[in-house]
Amino acid sequence: MDLSDAPAPLEQFAQERANAFAAGDAMAAVCTAASLGDRARLDIRTLVLRDLAPGLGLFANRTSVTADKWAFWLRAVFAVQTYWPSQHVQYRMQCRAEELGQELVARSWLQRPDAPKRMDWLYERYPQSSVIASREALVRALDEVADDQTAIAPQSARGLRLTPIEIERLFLGTDNGVHERTRYTLQEGKWQTETLIP
Ligand SMILES: Cc1cc2nc3c(=O)[nH]c(=O)nc-3n(C[C@H](O)[C@H](O)[C@H](O)COP(=O)(O)O)c2cc1C
């Protein structure tokens, strides 16, 4: 067991993610997030992962009818995973989540492309993940979102700051084919480092 805080796992994560972006890795922008919903239903989603200082960020819409995901995300520790094929590296994290201030959410929201902005406004009338009669009905409803509405974020746009408390890095790109697996656990503000059997 090693109690030194080097290498700082979040710095290594940021560096490897930057390398993945530089290599044109399509997976660099996203993560897979899993949480336990109500009645112990397991939900897994691909979400865009943002860099925040400190921590990481997720943006979503609180209208979703899927197992009241927002309430569950704020209540529980939940799991986030990334895999960047270009870097031969997987990260798995256990994270605590806290809601981001609406001002920061509103500012970030303005950087979204037009179609997701329109979708966010559509959710005000048609909650995300609810059933609609057809794709044609969806496109018609989307056309009814006024152009000037997309100038500001709807109230239902939300953001989360993730604070990882456990990070596991699995590196597959070793010369001898023996994968490198390291677990970092945050204890009293320091990262405890352990080598795991891959
Ligand atoms: C590449 C990609 C990026 C995505 N990014 C987001 C995102 O940042 N926020 C989000 O709410 N959903 C995002 N989604 C959609 C989610 O995976 C999911 O389908 C949606 O949030 C509905 O989930 P729900 O059933 O929990 O409401 C993304 C999907 C893909 C494939």
List pLDDT tens digits, range 4-43: 444 599 999 999 999 999 999 999 999 999 887 667 778 8
**Strand duo 89-99 + 42-48: pairing:** unpaired
pLDDT tens-digit series, residues 120-158? 999 999 999 999 999 999 999 999 988 888 899 999 999
Task: Among 41, 48, 61, 132, name the best residue to mutate to test ligand 1's pocket (greatest count of ligand atoms within 8 A of Cβ).
Answer: 48
Residue 77 has pLDDT above 90, yes or no: no
Contact 170, 87 (CB under 8 A): no
Residue 128 Cα to ligand 1 middle (Å): 10
Question: What's the rounded mean pLDDT across residues 72-93?
Answer: 91
Output the average pLDDT for the chain.
Answer: 91
pLDDT tens for residues 103-123? Answer: 999 999 999 999 999 999 999
What is the 6 CA–ligand 1 centroid distance (Å)?
34
Residue nearest to atom 29 of ligand 1 (CA): 46
The overall pTM is greater than 0.85: yes
Residues with Cβ within 8 Å of residue 156, at least 6 apart in sequence: 61, 62, 63, 120, 123, 124
pLDDT of residue 6: 45
Question: Which H/E stretch holds residue 104?
Answer: helix 102-109
> SS3 of 32, please?
strand
CATH class of 9-195: mainly beta
For the ranges 6-20, 42-56, 66-80, the lowest mean pLDDT is seen at 66-80
**How far apart are the CA of 9 and the centre of ligand 1, in A?**
26
Kindly report the protein residue whose alpha carbon is nearest to atom 6 of ligand 1: 47
Q: Supply the residue whose CA is at minimum distance from atom 31 of ligand 1.
A: 46
pLDDT of residue 5: 45
Question: Would you state the pLDDT for residue 7?
Answer: 52
Whether ligand 1 lies within 6 angstroms of the CB of 195 is answered as no
Among residues 27, 146, 1, which one has the least CA distance to residue 86?
Answer: 27
Q: Could you identify the atom of ligand 1 that is nearest to the CA of residue 48?
A: 8
Ligand 1 touching residue 46 (CB < 6 A): yes
54 or 112, which is more confident: 112
Q: Does pLDDT of 85 surpass 90?
A: yes
Q: Where are the domains of the chain?
A: 9-195
